[in-house]
Amino acid sequence: MQAGGPDSTAASEAPSSGSEDSDCEFGPETEAEASLTEEWARELLVDWGVVDPQEIRVESRAGVAGALSRVLAVTVRYESNGERHSLPLVVKLPPRDPFGRLFVAEAQFDTREILFYTELAPALNKLAQEALGPDECLPVPRCVKAKLPDEIGGDSELVLEDVTSVGFDSADFAEGLSVDRARAALFAAARLHALSLALRDREGPLDQRFDFLFPCERAAAGYLRLVRRGLPQLEAFLRGRSDCVEEAAAVSVLSARAPSLLGTLLQPAEPASLAHADFWSGNLLFRERDGINECIALDWQMVSLGRPMDDVALLLLSSLTPELRRAIGDSLIDDYGDRLEAECVRLGVASSGEIVRRSLKQDWPRAALRALLLCAGSVDVALGEPRAEQRLLEAVRDLYAQGILDLKAESES
């Protein structure tokens, strides 16, 4: 999980994407700012379709350095055809730290996200516009400019529209999502899943055309890091409470079993859709327009073939209060299923939508355990904030009570 939404103007990164710590250095990114010159902005504007931009000025508004990237919020001001304009942007650059830069390069986090925005998202948007209408699209920011690294560990660059300039804002993680925001997030996920099922139906398995998708075996290695890092912290947290003795013991057993479980937890099922794979409130932005909540998803470094329930379960367990999750979790899954089926019907893949819909509830144990491991890997995001701690504690209690912590690997069945 990535705390704060690194594609927004106020961002931080947490370890679920593989980093070893979640600390961020807030303040001006002077070295990065030096690279965002007038010539950089001119090239960007021309590529964006601006005719003969003049009087160009780049203004930095905010910056954050995390384990996986440096993120800058900038505004490019310019004149064209006698009129003044401004273009608010978010610029994502590799970390300066050599170790972090090498880790990002080896895991292809920056490359994967750039290729998502330049290859996969355009293919999904083209399909959406053809099948659903000219204004329909994937709920993501528009990509303004992208540059892949020339070599392993080299410089990359991803420039996105800053959607906070049009009313989108981050959610308060500790407070948890409201019902309307949770539903908006699940509808955004349904759009992604349905479009990917339709593209699969048209072109075949998506990982054949988009070979940058996070492969299961590499994801398993990343999750193993999370298990070894996060579950002992979670166990220690539970053992510090006198009312969680059984849950702590179950997590201790899970720590030993988790490596053998990873293949079961991460294996896609047919029909295989895309999964965001880190779908929680910190990677989402929201706005309300005409009484309707809208959601945009950020941070696509881990996009992969997966199961729709992976994104649904992570959102419910990580981003809703325990009271709200228990009260309406099942109805939110039903709402998601209804929207997914409706989208699939509109896209001409009704049978795929029906298959996925029928599998949602039965896939909950696997997806919920995967979500718990992801949350455990980012346990330091919750620790120290009483409401977030309680949410994590209640998630463990509920999964323990449901027998989900005892889920067996397929090889053990």
pLDDT digits (tens, 9 = 90+) for 289-315: 999 999 999 999 999 999 999 999 999
Cα three-residue angle 227-15-371, rounded to 5 degrees = 55
**Tell me, what's the pLDDT at 24?**
34
Per-residue pLDDT tens digits for 348-372: 999 999 999 999 999 999 999 999 9
Per-residue pLDDT tens digits for 207-251: 999 999 988 777 788 778 778 888 999 999 999 999 999 999 999
**Tell me, what's the pLDDT at 412?**
63
Dist. CA 153–CA 110, nearest whole Å: 10
Q: Is the dihedral of CA 110, 113, 117, 118 positive or negative?
A: positive
Section 8-19 average pLDDT: 37
Per cent of the chain over pLDDT 70 is 91
Burial of 76 (0-12, 13-18, 19+ CB in 10 A): buried
Closest alpha carbon to 56 in 71, 67, 45? 45
End-to-end CA distance of the chain: 30
Query: Could you give the C-alpha distances from 340 to 1, 269, 337, in angstroms and in order?
Result: 24, 16, 5
Section 107-133 average pLDDT: 96
Contacts of 381 (CB under 8 A, 6+ apart): 1, 3, 14, 22, 173, 282, 388
Answer whether residue 394 shows pLDDT above 50: yes
**Tell me, what's the pLDDT at 156?**
93
Q: Which residue type is seen at 66?
A: G
**Tell me, what's the pLDDT at 313?**
98
The number of angstroms, rounded, from the C-alpha of 276 to the middle of its chain's C-alpha atoms is 5
Distinct helix (H) and strand (E) counts, the chain? 15, 11
Per cent of the chain over pLDDT 90 is 68
Q: For 259, which DSSP code?
A: H
Contacts of 46 (CB under 8 A, 6+ apart): 53
Q: Which helix (H) or strand (E) holds 309?
A: helix 308-319
Section 256-285 average pLDDT: 91
Q: Which helix (H) or strand (E) holds 62?
A: strand 54-65
* 360's tokens: 């949602």
Cis peptide bond N-terminal to 322, omega within 30: no
Per-residue pLDDT tens digits for 38-96: 999 999 999 999 999 999 999 988 788 777 788 999 999 999 999 999 999 999 999 88
Cα three-residue angle 367-275-259, rounded to 5 degrees = 45
Answer whether residue 22 shows pLDDT above 70: no
Answer whether residue 385 shows pLDDT above 60: yes
**Tell me, what's the pLDDT at 320?**
97
**Tell me, what's the pLDDT at 411?**
63
Dist. CA 182–CA 318, nearest whole Å: 11
DSSP-based three-state secondary structure for 46: helix
Answer whether residue 3 shows pLDDT above 50: no
**Tell me, what's the pLDDT at 413?**
56
**Tell me, what's the pLDDT at 26?**
38
Number of other CB atoms surrounding residue 175 within 10 Å? 11
Section 102-129 average pLDDT: 94
Section 309-324 average pLDDT: 97
Please name every residue paired with 79 in a beta bridge, in sequence order, or none if there are none: 54, 84
* 385's tokens: 């904030």
Q: What's the predicted TM-score (pTM) here?
A: 0.90
Q: Which residue type is seen at 84?
A: R
Query: Could you give the C-alpha distances from 383 to 235, 342, 389, in angstroms and in order?
Result: 12, 39, 6
Q: Where are the beta strands (DSSP E) in 134-233?
A: 143-147, 157-161, 169-170
User: Binning pLDDT at 50, 70 and 90, where does residue 20 land?
Assistant: very low
Section 140-166 average pLDDT: 93
Answer whether residue 167 shows pLDDT above 90: yes
**Tell me, what's the pLDDT at 74?**
94
